[in-house]
Structure 1
Amino acid sequence: MRARPYTFAILAALAGLLLLATPVEANSRIKDITDVEGVRENQLVGYGLVVGLDGSGDSLRNAAFTRQSLSAMLERFDVNTRDATLNTRNTAAVIITAHLPAFATQGSRADVTVSAIGDADSLQGGTLIATALIGADGQVYAVAQGQVAVGGFQAQGDAASVTRGVPTSGRIANGALIERELRFDLANRSAIRLALRNPDFTTATRTADSINAYLGTDAARAADPATVVLTRPDFYTGDMVALLSEIEQLRVEPDLPARVVIDEATGTIVMGENVRVSTVAIAQGNLTISVTESPIASQPNPFAREGETEVLPRTNVQVTEDAAQLGVLDTGVSLSDLVDGLNALGVSPRDMIAILQSIKAAGALQAEIEVL
């Protein structure tokens, strides 16, 4: 019996509806949860001078390093200033930081950040003189130069001043010119390691299983909670770059541990979806102490021959404690039920932090508490 053409159309439509009904929002691409070995940035740093400031640079009398750097720079241009007294505020000593992008080639550019290290008031309008940027191995990898763009500003008068942002720090877009490359032959490698950004046994295993299911062979294995080793199959005709471009689009559902993150400075509480709590009863009472001062004046009698007016202190202390009711949180509740139960107690975020820590101390909170 031959199937009719519209039968295949109906089956295709049903398959499309099933795919749309699948909850893929919780899944993440492998490229979003892992880092590839060797594909990384490198930090660069340098020391230089910013010139052209409108009197907002370093005071050469207080910043000896700026004076020495300025003299050394002028000597390179055959200007002798050893016996001269330099008194200018148009120069500032700065530290330049930048990131060397992965696989950056000679002649490409990168952004740099310029920060003053002396007593300069602002870097606005300044120009960075050519400065070598070195890596951790002491080698020069880039040279930075250009106009400094400052986001903040400072306005000062005789009796008041206004400062917005940080005028002593700025950026130079594409200000670094790459002079040295970092060689890394990724295409011809037969094996590579994928580093999970959030290490987890389950996530690493799911990542390896997803890659093996796509390739049809055991090409990936979870070496530890943070590493998945990928070996290029013998039958694969492409190189490692082509293989990574294919598997990085695969989706994996990350599994995160139950964790409660608390920021006591701002009163922020963040709880993961796997946080669970055992049956526990909670009572939270608020204690308020109010102290008011109402001093009174004591004066002598109208016809008294001697006497002075004195101020006598008078303090009023009031203590108020709100009546607390026990609230019961059932065991094994979901995150939304846990939040609803804590909100039903009517407590502030800072009181909720104390409650969560007390629940953890009682052994009823099945989660890790991390205090920032």
Structure 2
Amino acid sequence: MLARTSHFPSRAVVHHKPARSVTLPAKPYSKVKLFAACLLGLALATQALAQVRIKDIADVEGVRDNQLVGYGLVVGLNGTGDRLRNAIFTRQSLVGMLERLGVNTRDNEARLETRNIAAVMVTTNLPAFARPGSRIDVSVSALGDAQNLQGGVLIVTPLLGADGEVYAVAQGAVATGAIAARGAGASVSRGVPTSGRISSGAIVERAIPFQLAGRDRVRLALRNPDFTTARRIAAAINARVRADVAVASDPRTVTVALGGRDAMGFITDIEQLRVEPDQPARVVIEEASGTIVMGANVRVSTVAIAQGNLTIRITETPQVSQPGPLSNGETVVTPRTQIEIDDQRERRVGVLPGSVTLQELVRGLNSLGVGPRDLITILQTIKAAGALQAELELR
């Protein structure tokens, strides 16, 4: 009976409940594996977030926009156009336009007093591979003393390239998106009413020839030149095709040999590859606005910082001393001056340890209670002391 009793439970555990006999001993170990998997997933996610597509940091050489410019007239303004007495070019353009339409106004040119017309410059960018008949947006900007282009219509304006050839023709209603109102004693404005935009306002008349088919190689131009980033791009392309087809020839250019491949399909595959761009240690300071931008690789050697401003405040409170009634005294103004000196002696010396991160650098400088203007001076002084291990760029 004892043997049977000891035998039956073992069979019940092994054959009838195999999941419980396997799962229970492994439960503590599963928590460890789950925690390790979470850490690995977090590390991979962080690395993936730092990577960007090649198409977001590089351009294909030759695939670019071309700038176009033209001179035209905007008509239909409600008395907010150019004064023809002041804007001579507007008057001459108006007379020339009317002559082309069969109206002779040269004999009475001096009597033209309309303020419903304005001379403008029309600018746009011709996209790569734009074909004749396609439409592009244009920007319109006043040349003379026009006050508002709202409600105006741009007359047919040829748009020229750098070679002097006409590549597009613009025409249409101008939309400024600005508000301007003026009364006898006050005026209000929002935005810039003397510049506007015409959506799909130009028709492409001529295409700029550029062919990708039949090329044996293409060049990728980095928007932010860097040796490390260019080499990483070349390595990612070579790993994708499993051949040495990409070479980083300089910090801005990566040359890729097509080797008989379809240019469109190969470039599409290359653009989707992800790399991690490298950033130089750089601090950019815009002194006009007090803006400071620091890169992630900025480091500071061990340095002690003390910052304080001497403030002297002088307050004048003159008092008037008047004589008593029916007396022969004089009214005298007695000056009273109060001088306050704030040397900020409560400010203490702060020490930044060596090789601090960007976050620690900002936290340490903020602990000194300094503003952006003082922070600019501190960074310049740290750079002069040789403790700022980064490039300092002033704009």
Regarding TM over 0.5, the answer is: yes
Q: Quick one: structure 1 residues 19 and 241, their matched pair in 2 at CA, closer, same or farther if it must change by over 3 Å?
A: farther
Indicate whether 1:319 and 2:345 are aligned. no
Q: What residue identity is the alignment partner of 2:289?
A: T
1:28 to 47, 52, 71: 52
- Residue 49 of structure 1: CA displacement? 0.4
- Residue 291 of structure 1: CA displacement? 1.8
1:106 to 115, 129, 132: 132
Select the structure of larger CA radius of gyration. 2
- Equivalent residue number for residue 292 of structure 2: 269
Q: What residue identity is the alignment partner of 1:365?
A: L
**Alpha-carbon distance between aligned partners in 2 of 1:209 and 1:264, rounded to the nearest angstrom:** 39
- Residue 288 of structure 1: CA displacement? 2.0
- Equivalent residue number for residue 4 of structure 1: none
Q: Quick one: structure 1 residues 15 and 338, their matched pair in 2 at CA, closer, same or farther if it must change by over 3 Å?
A: closer
Indicate whether 1:69 and 2:113 are aligned. no
Q: Quick one: structure 1 residues 79 and 183, their matched pair in 2 at CA, closer, same or farther if it must change by over 3 Å?
A: same
Q: What residue identity is the alignment partner of 1:134?
A: L
**Alpha-carbon distance between aligned partners in 1 of 2:385 and 2:39, rounded to the nearest angstrom:** 48
**Alpha-carbon distance between aligned partners in 1 of 2:341 and 2:38, rounded to the nearest angstrom:** 66
Indicate whether 1:93 and 2:119 are aligned. yes
2:354 to 309, 331, 343: 331
Q: What residue identity is the alignment partner of 1:281?
A: A
- Residue 153 of structure 1: CA displacement? 2.0
- Equivalent residue number for residue 8 of structure 1: none
**Alpha-carbon distance between aligned partners in 1 of 2:332 and 2:134, rounded to the nearest angstrom:** 80
**Alpha-carbon distance between aligned partners in 1 of 2:263 and 2:37, rounded to the nearest angstrom:** 33
Q: RMSD over aligned Cα, in angstroms? A: 2.0
Moved over 6 A (4+): 14-20
- Residue 311 of structure 1: CA displacement? 3.8
1:144-293 maps to which residues of 2 (within 5 A)?
144-234=170-260, 238-293=261-316
**Alpha-carbon distance between aligned partners in 2 of 1:97 and 1:299, rounded to the nearest angstrom:** 72
- Residue 207 of structure 1: CA displacement? 0.7
- Residue 232 of structure 1: CA displacement? 0.8
| Residue aligned with 2:221, SS | strand
- Equivalent residue number for residue 29 of structure 2: none
| Residue aligned with 1:24, SS | helix
- TM-score, normalising length: structure 2: 0.86
For structure 2, the 5+ residue unaligned runs are 1-35
- Residue 117 of structure 1: CA displacement? 0.7
- Residue 317 of structure 1: CA displacement? 2.2
Q: Quick one: structure 1 residues 20 and 289, their matched pair in 2 at CA, closer, same or farther if it must change by over 3 Å?
A: closer
- Equivalent residue number for residue 128 of structure 1: 154
Q: What residue identity is the alignment partner of 1:59?
A: R
Q: What residue identity is the alignment partner of 1:267?
A: G
**Alpha-carbon distance between aligned partners in 2 of 1:17 and 1:262, rounded to the nearest angstrom:** 37
**Alpha-carbon distance between aligned partners in 1 of 2:41 and 2:199, rounded to the nearest angstrom:** 44
Paired residue total: 355
- Residue 287 of structure 1: CA displacement? 2.2
Q: Quick one: structure 1 residues 16 and 72, their matched pair in 2 at CA, closer, same or farther if it must change by over 3 Å?
A: farther
**Alpha-carbon distance between aligned partners in 2 of 1:99 and 1:311, rounded to the nearest angstrom:** 70
**Alpha-carbon distance between aligned partners in 2 of 1:188 and 1:34, rounded to the nearest angstrom:** 22
Higher helix share: 2
Q: Quick one: structure 1 residues 16 and 136, their matched pair in 2 at CA, closer, same or farther if it must change by over 3 Å?
A: farther
- Equivalent residue number for residue 391 of structure 2: 368
- TM-score, normalising length: structure 1: 0.91
- Residue 316 of structure 1: CA displacement? 2.3
**Alpha-carbon distance between aligned partners in 2 of 1:65 and 1:52, rounded to the nearest angstrom:** 18
Q: What residue identity is the alignment partner of 2:213?
A: A
Identity %: 64
Deviations 1:43-93 (A, max 9, x none): 111000000111111111111111110000000111000011211111111
**Alpha-carbon distance between aligned partners in 1 of 2:333 and 2:368, rounded to the nearest angstrom:** 46
Deviations 1:257-285 (A, max 9, x none): 00011122232221111101111111112
Q: What residue identity is the alignment partner of 1:144?
A: A
- Residue 304 of structure 1: CA displacement? 4.7
**Alpha-carbon distance between aligned partners in 2 of 1:38 and 1:287, rounded to the nearest angstrom:** 58
Deviations 1:293-320 (A, max 9, x none): 212224456455474x454544322111
Indicate whether 1:118 and 2:144 are aligned. yes
Q: Quick one: structure 1 residues 339 and 305, their matched pair in 2 at CA, closer, same or farther if it must change by over 3 Å?
A: closer
Q: What residue identity is the alignment partner of 1:321?
A: D
| Residue aligned with 1:72, SS | helix
